[in-house]
Homo-oligomer: A and B are copies of this chain.
Amino acid sequence: MRKGLVVQKFGGSSVADVQRIKNVARRVVGYRGKGYRLVVVVSAIGDTTDELIQLATQINPEPSEREMDMLLSTGEQISVALLAMAIQRVGFEAISFTGLQVGIITDSSHTKARIIKINTEKILEELNRGRIVIVAGFQGATLNQDITTLGRGGSDLTAVALAKELEAETCEIYTDVEGIYTADPRIVSNARKLGQITYDEMLEMASLGAQVMQARSIEVAKKFDVPIHVRSSFSEKPGTMIIKEVKRMEEVLVSGVTINKNEAKITVCDVPDRPGVAAKIFKELSVGGINVDMIVQNVSHTRKTDISFTVAKTELGKASKIIRKVASELKAGEVLQDEDIARVSIVGVGMKSHPGVAADMFDVLAKNKINIEMISTSDISISCIIKKQFAEVAVKALHDKFCTEKKQKGV
């Protein structure tokens, strides 16, 4: 590990206007003044990316992905140049790089490229000159120097991958919230900021609806054991550390409660209960490019069964079309769909050794007269699909049961 080397990532909202860029510059030089060597990863300014996408689709509704990457990568190039200027303005040395320039080598899967390798010489050279190095997030280039982008949330990935390759002390992710909370503070007023959380818990929370960091970058951080510090761009307070193992004073069963209202449920009724049927359904969806999330199939007592699953609401139309075709081929029954659902989940590594947690969760929902439509569990999370209108009540009740100080100390 390189002591004193820190990678800091600032998202699009942190650099949304001239004043915020100056603010980020002040934050950065504050750390530089304390002697840290800094690599700063920046996203595109505010809504730049969306505006460029809109411009492209006006010109070509199906733009080539290579050209899309050429276009979108300008967003971060603008913000790194401006941040370097802002840092220079307050008297510190800074130099900006695009992904191509700095040597973030990716495969050629345009718009969703994977990082193959990062050349760190250029960065280390500039750090040794005492400069703050500003790197464009979200982008890289193929060995042939074609510009690529890493997909949504790609700037987090740039930061984590750089932190790994540079053997940084920490990777700081600056965002507009103060860290990871036990629940969304806008819904649960007594939600608490977590001091620490494990990669696994954060992964579950990310995929279950907490939108602070993209799952892919957490996976990479976990794989290479990169310590991540999620904190606020607008406050000096420490945020949440995402690390391998959390040593807590008392054992905590549940680290957080999440909510996700962006899914829809599809049920195929009276599916013939024979081998290969589920495979056929989900293969067709996969070929159609549909990401399926929860899947539930009940044990069947007859020769027929019901299969339910959830998909992103934005893909409901497409999924529904595919599934009606499959259902008719399989001679299955009715296809039902429901957009009025929410997924509430509890997440925590402590659950592994406490099987009673699931029962407690169902009990809380029952006491609040909330019907559970689907259940899905992992090692460290339990999710229930309920009617959307009960989502807030459910989250508050679950948080009250599992996440308040009093409850946790009692475990």
Contact = CB atoms under 8 A, between A and B. Distances in A.
A60 interface: yes
A74 interface: yes
A89 B74 contact: no
Interface stretch (A78-86, A328-336, A353-361, A383-391): A78-86
Given A74-B74, A88-B64, A101-B145, A82 B96 contact: no
Interface stretch (A50-58, A179-187, A234-242): A50-58
A82 B101 contact: no
Interface in A106-155: 145-147
A175 interface: no
A184 to B, nearest CB: 34
B64 A84 contact: yes
A80 B56 CA distance: 12
B100 A59 contact: no
A22 B60 CA distance: 10
Given A55-B18, A86-B60, A71 B81 contact: yes
**Tier of interface size on chain A:** 35 or more
A345 to B, nearest CB: 40
A82 B95 contact: no
Interface in A42-93: 52, 55-56, 58-60, 63-64, 66-68, 70-71, 73-74, 77-78, 80-82, 84-86, 88-89
Interface of A: 18, 21-22, 52, 55-56, 58-60, 63-64, 66-68, 70-71, 73-74, 77-78, 80-82, 84-86, 88-89, 95-96, 98, 100-101, 145-147
Given A66-B95, A100-B145, 11 more contacts: A18-B58, A22-B59, A63-B85, A63-B88, A67-B81, A67-B82, A67-B85, A68-B81, A74-B78, A77-B77, A98-B147
